[in-house]
Structure 1
């Protein structure tokens, strides 16, 4: 055998070193590529089951489409997706009714208005709230949708008045605290409020001294601040204020200072409830209670006062 014959029969790959990797041209496959829509609608389980090569191909296809998008044809049902129709979800019959009818049902579930009945005791407040219409708790426990629909009606209807008492007795406050925290969805549903201020019930001969009277005012202000914070998201439509105090103890300036703390409630309408049991004392100039001043706490009066102050500042500027 000649040398030329040996060279012709020698494999071509022997010219490369044995440890060097030979780069070959990529092989083209006859497998058809997936459409963009079929890639987009791949289920999550199917994506995790794809081999690495298919993942690279799908990524490059999506990258090319993102750079130069084009109209997609109507998507065909993926063979991986089961064609069986989904089972119907169990929906309560109440939710199948129109919303207007459901709201009427929630309203009819409330009992007739009666004397204030003890309701929940929020942790944010220091006394129980009282309701003129007790709320059926079973309705609010059905599901989240019914609860969200019923809360504004059960707590915000015109006949549902929420009674809150602010008492000066600090020891009573501390012993009556609760761990219950009412949600903001509930407090924002309250629209009609009756706020009672209790500064004491002593007679004139046993009325508190100056130090004790000032301490009671301080506690009442704290209680009003808590109520304002608790109802920060509520759209209060009506506010009735009741007031109880020992005779000839608090001047009108002190009372006015307490009442001004209720401006934060921004009630649309403010009127007087029971003032000092309806008695005729404290009618003098110094210890009077000016019921007409309650109108200054209404939302419209506050907005007008703010607008006038802005106008005054602009004129001076």
Structure 2
């Protein structure tokens, strides 16, 4: 046998019958070429570039899943991490079906791919919502903790404020009580020296009495002495009355001054308390607003995830 290239050898080595040789000898390309039936060629065996990138293990797994899907297995059974491999394999199956003329299967695969993509989008959306919900839950917990901490801090500030105010009030009360006691402790039976000075009339009478004694006019001096004693008692009573009135007026003035001090004390502390409450309310309201906003976002996210 003549030496031929390896690619041609299988055809040459096939034994031929006499009739076949005879037929070949009578072969006329213009009359005989169309009489031989064309072989049934299989679908092209050149898979897509994507399909070629799959490993052997990925091929086996994806082909098995595609077989199950084509038999009616639910599309939701495909793990998210294997979806891309399954779609690549389905596209390869569609290519083969189209080449083989099985357009019904091609359309079925196209519909399956669309459904899988839709499921993937839904899964990714659900996954994103799940992550969003988890993030919002963490934010809500942090915001609630911050709100709780803010309230606790302000409660402590209010407690300290009230304690300081009470201490200041007690100190003011003690000071005022001491001053009032000092005022009331002065004896009212003993007149101050400023009230002991006799009147000019009494001094004149005593001077006349002394002159009568010096002139030995004792009877007249005795009468003036009695009159002077009477006048002295009257003046003493009048001075005591004036002293008591002065004491009473001074006590009333002291009480009025203390009342003004108390009113001023209350006003100052009320202003401080109002300022403290306004600042506290603003900070707590701000923290509460943050909590409410996050809670609303979380509720909306959970509704969208349903």
Q: TM-score range by the shorter chain?
A: under 0.3
Give the structure-2-normalised TM-score. Answer: 0.21
Give the structure-1-normalised TM-score. Answer: 0.20
The structure whose residues are more often helix, as a share, is 2
The structure whose residues are more often strand, as a share, is 1
Structure number with higher relative contact order (C-alpha < 8 Å, ≥ 6 residues apart): 2
Instruction: Pick the structure with greater CA Rg.
Output: 2
